[in-house]
Amino acid sequence: MSTEVSAVFVTYPDERTARAISRSLIERRLAACSNIFAVSSIYRWKGEIEEAAEFASLLKIRSEDFQAVVEAVKKLHPYDVPCIVRYDVAEGSLDYLRWVIESTGLSPTAEPPR
């Protein structure tokens, strides 16, 4: 079951954008959960080294939904080139992985594990 689930890391310019996009993905059942946190970023953009305070989210999704997640994020995201990267979940609690799968797609709504 673990190969069916991925974590997707996305960065945003501010918390409001992170929350809005995360909420949209969850409402559309493209993500089961989004952990949002503040980050400091150093990166190269248009030949210059930049530093910025940003927010990031770690989305839990079904692996098969990754392209739909990318398309949805790009439509809502203000960056020209948003960071959207997927990591396979190698292992995890079976109860949690089952909840992620049941909370996305066309499955009935599931309660988060406690």
pLDDT tens track for 88-114: 999 999 999 999 999 998 655 555 555
Residue 27, burial from CB neighbour count under 10 angstroms (0-12, 13-18, 19+): exposed
Strands (E), 26-81: 33-45, 48-62
The CA distance from 84 to 92, in Å, is: 22
Per-residue pLDDT at 113: 54
Per-residue confidence (pLDDT) for residue 1, from 0 to 100 = 64
What pTM value is reported for the model? 0.89
Q: Tell me the pLDDT tens digit for each residue of 58-79.
A: 999 999 999 999 999 999 999 9
Q: The tokens 């059942």 sit on which residue?
A: 29
Domains and CATH numbers, the chain: 2-102 (3.30.70.120)
- Residue 63 pLDDT: 96
Q: pLDDT for 27-62, tens place per residue?
A: 999 999 999 999 999 999 999 999 999 999 999 999
H or E stretch including 69?
A: helix 66-76
Average pLDDT over residues 6-33: 98
